[in-house]
Structure 1
Amino acid sequence: MTRHLALPLFLLVSVGGGALIGLSVETGGWYAALQKPGFNPPDWVFAPVWGTLYILIGLAGWRIWRAGIAPAQRLWWLQLALNFVWPPVFFAAHALGAAMIVILALDAAVVAFLAATWRAERVSALLFLPYLAWVAYASLLNAALWWLN
């Protein structure tokens, strides 16, 4: 794969994959009926946050691919797979407990990616910091929703 083709492909995989997952799960009726904690954000927040994060994720994936850091590459693909698995488990299967397990694994994968890139590819690690913050918040939200419902 050429260097110039790689960046658009990484962005397509992360942004396009995230959009496809988002469009494939129905979040309306069931989710709207759940009891929510006071820190639940309004629905309109999710799309711009995830859109921005998927761009950052794609950029980080491209950078570690370009740097040839194999362990970080494996962790990048693992976190993306877990990220794409969570919405169907949560929204389609309505399995709040199973979704909690998936998102905790996602938290661990993101932290492992940060550890693997912090010294070798600091920019990629920094690109993942907002993602870590959002996934940690989403984990707390998942736990609260599971507890309340």
Structure 2
Amino acid sequence: MRALVQRVSQASVTVDGTVAGEIGAGLLVLVCAMRGDTEAQSEWLARKVVNLRIFSDDEGRMNRSLVDIGGSALVVSQFTLAAETKGNRPGFSSAAPPDEGERLYEHFSGQVRGHGVTVANGIFGADMKVALVNDGPVTIWLDTEGK
């Protein structure tokens, strides 16, 4: 699985003019299941996301995790993280099929919740509008390949 994690002061996702999910301080997590991914990879990624020490401590150092600050996560499916960009038109054949991608996306969200984090979600497969205020900016790329 792949995730693009952004530290945010606020974020929301809107579908057809209706807010589907929103958070205050925390993480926007754009997540993509890759062909052949498993629940074990989803669980590893969830642990990594909630324990990433990318929030400031009292001395201003990135030394606190999402769990430490009591922050929330907005988890949004993003199959385009699987883009193959050898040419000018990206291909997405390495993304998991939609049914498998949705299952692993839901599993990932549940695993993040299982760590005591409040989770808001987008709508899998929908045309979503994501708004965020990136705090820092801090943006981290995670990939379970080889884990």
What's the TM-score, normalizing by structure 1?
0.32
Question: Going by fraction, where is helix more abundant, 1 or 2?
Answer: 1
Greater relative contact order (Cα < 8 A, sep 6+): 2
What's the TM-score, normalizing by structure 2?
0.32
Question: Going by fraction, where is strand more abundant, 1 or 2?
Answer: 2
